[in-house]
Amino acid sequence: MSTSSNPQEEVEQPKGFVALKEHVKEHKIDVALWALRVLTLLCVFNYVLPIFLSANNAFYKALIGNAAISALRLHQRIPPHEISLSRLFVARFFQEDSAHYFFYSFIFMSATPNILILTPVFLFALLHASSYSLTILDTLGQNSMWVARLLISLVEFQSRNILRAAALAELALFPLVVLYSLFGYCALLTPFVYYYFITWRYSSRRNPYTRNTCRELRVLAEQTAARPNVPEPLRKLLRGAVTLTCRMAPPATPQ
């Protein structure tokens, strides 16, 4: 009497450095993005605590790293065969968040270093590098580096606050850029170029945090101005700032 059995053998995925090597071969651009983000984070840390590089050198290397990250992301988002010299393509190009931060790096490439300029660069690099680090750790093995996994989980748990902080830094930079241009710390045209950057971020379809932060700041300013104990000069200043900001804001687009 013969019995036929078809045992299904589970093929375990290889783990460890062999699996990591295969992962790198299959996801070259993703791994390159992760490495660039880690290097950008190190440059920002070195700007704050100059150990291996001078602060100025670390500042500009962080901006270059951010530009390289943005260029690779644009390569992923817009394949070469879709590039064309048309108004439709240009409109699509400037809808990409990566295009915004590609130009962001060049806006401040000739400016005097300031930690606020690197803040959104640092926060985005931290968030995305942490996310992909989990993929790398999973490739190495389920139980590898549990301390790193815990830290990454904390970063991802605070992802919304990180994105809001990045948006707030983008907005806080605008008055700083104006002051920078008046005192010769950046080019006179920098505020005008940065204004376009802010309008791109405000109109972003994938990242609504700049737009939402603008609304939250407007509500906060209006509520503060409505308080009876606020001095009249401050009240007029707040309302004037809200009016000016609303005039400068781009028209609302359907999301």
Q: What is the mean pLDDT of residues 236-251?
A: 81
Tokens 């790293």 found at: 65
Question: Where is average pLDDT lowest: 12-16, 71-75, 178-182, 210-214?
Answer: 12-16
| C-alpha separations of 138 from 7, 14, 33, 171 in Å | 28, 11, 18, 37
pLDDT at res. 79: 77
Given a cut of 50, whether residue 10 has pLDDT beyond it is no
Given a cut of 90, whether residue 194 has pLDDT beyond it is yes
* pTM of structure: 0.85
Q: Tell me the domain boundaries of the chain.
A: 17-207
pLDDT band of residue 65 (cuts 50, 70, 90) is very high
> Which stretches of 95-208 are DSSP H helices?
97-107, 115-140, 146-157, 159-182, 190-202
Given a cut of 50, whether residue 2 has pLDDT beyond it is no
Count CB neighbours of 94 within 10 A: 14
